[in-house]
Structure 1
Amino acid sequence: MQTALLRDLDLARSDEIERVAQGMRQTLIEVEGEARGTAMYTLDWLRDRVRWHLDPAQARARVVLALGARGEVLAHTIFRVEGPAEARFGLISTTYVWPAHRRAGLAARLLQCAEDWFLAQGLARCCTWTSSTNKPLIALYRRHGYVQTDQGPNDLTGTLMIQLSKPLLSTEALKS
């Protein structure tokens, strides 16, 4: 199997924005079910959310794509810096691998890409929030050293959400 190319989304490419928005929608459907997943956000809102992440006035973030040999989007992840200046952390907002490309290591590569970027930003920890029912994503994060650090209901659906976190820098590195 050929290794997918990882690169940042090109904001000038509406097809890439559309593919990421569709992946975000599919994540919601897989986790919340068809009715809830499609009702939570419109595709227009999801497209705008992709653009929001890449607007420097709104966020310090990246949208990274995993591309196949013909340039097709196989997977994506969105991650950003969050929190007040004295307690900044990395947040992985969403990761989606299209079903035909799962179990090929793409999600792990995208996770590593996010962690590397967070480290380059000098962040001491990173996390993600996901539905407690999203067993494949929870297993992926646990394999990479994440532990559950919080939980609470999704404000829109009431679904139990869990936070998975990982320290990126040791306490010795933080002191230097």
Structure 2
Amino acid sequence: MARLLAANSALSASLYPVEGNFALDPAAFGGPNAHVLVARGADGSALGCIGLLAVPGDVPAWGEMKSVYVSPAARGAKLGLRLIAALEAHALELGLTVIRLETGPLNPAAIELYRRAGYVERGPFGGYEPGPYSLFMERTLAANA
């Protein structure tokens, strides 16, 4: 998984300046409200990952999707959509009803993935500020989804 997170960080760094790069430090996934899901191939190799930072104290309880990455060799197999669906199912198990994310406008493939998964644009959330390198999205989850 560390390889996937490093590749995700490298991609973000290639697209955005430091002030517009919000890739999550892998150490942040060690906290009690941090969750990581990894998709593995038949040989056990990590093909994709997705992170969730739960914010259970707010109403509605929500989580932030972070570090969505699928290795180039695994792209085209709808692995990104499957990772998002697994994250959403896990979020519901945690009692979260809204998933939010920050992505960048210079990554159209990511934006299309999120739109295909049902995410819509919204304003900044949490500690984010509006800026030219950020696009904010969210999706309300249904318990029977």
Answer yes or no: is the 8 Å Cα contact 2:64–2:101 preserved in 1.
yes
2:26 corresponds in structure 1 to: 50
2:127 corresponds in structure 1 to: none
1:26 corresponds in structure 2 to: 10
The reply to whether residue 81 of structure 1 matches residue 57 of structure 2 is no
Answer yes or no: is the 8 Å Cα contact 1:74–1:97 preserved in 2.
yes
Aligned counterparts of 2:98 and 2:60: Cα–Cα separation in 1:
10
The reply to whether residue 67 of structure 1 matches residue 43 of structure 2 is no
Aligned counterparts of 2:54 and 2:97: Cα–Cα separation in 1:
11
Give 1 or 2: higher helix fraction: 1
1:132 corresponds in structure 2 to: 105
Q: Structure 1: give runs of 5+ residues left out of the alignment.
A: 1-15, 154-158
Answer yes or no: is the 8 Å Cα contact 1:20–1:50 preserved in 2.
no
The reply to whether residue 147 of structure 1 matches residue 120 of structure 2 is yes
Q: Report the residue type matching 1:89 in the other structure.
A: W
Answer yes or no: is the 8 Å Cα contact 2:47–2:74 preserved in 1.
yes
- Listed one character per residue, the Cα deviations across residues 66-105 of structure 1 (whole Å, up to 9, x for unaligned) are 1112211111111121264434202101101111211111
Q: Report the residue type matching 2:10 in the other structure.
A: Q
Aligned-residue CA RMSD in angstroms?
A: 2.6
How many residues align? The count is 137
Answer yes or no: is the 8 Å Cα contact 1:127–1:165 preserved in 2.
yes
Answer yes or no: is the 8 Å Cα contact 1:66–1:74 preserved in 2.
yes
Bigger RCO (CA 8 Å, 6+ sep): 2
Moved beyond 6 Å, runs of 4+: none
Identity %: 26
Aligned counterparts of 1:52 and 1:19: Cα–Cα separation in 2:
16
- TM-score for both structures, normalised by structure 1: 0.67
Aligned counterparts of 1:164 and 1:85: Cα–Cα separation in 2:
18
Query: Highest CA radius of gyration, 1 or 2?
Result: 1
Q: 1:112 to 1:121 in 2, by over 3 A?
A: same
Q: CA shift at 1:30, angstroms?
A: 4.8
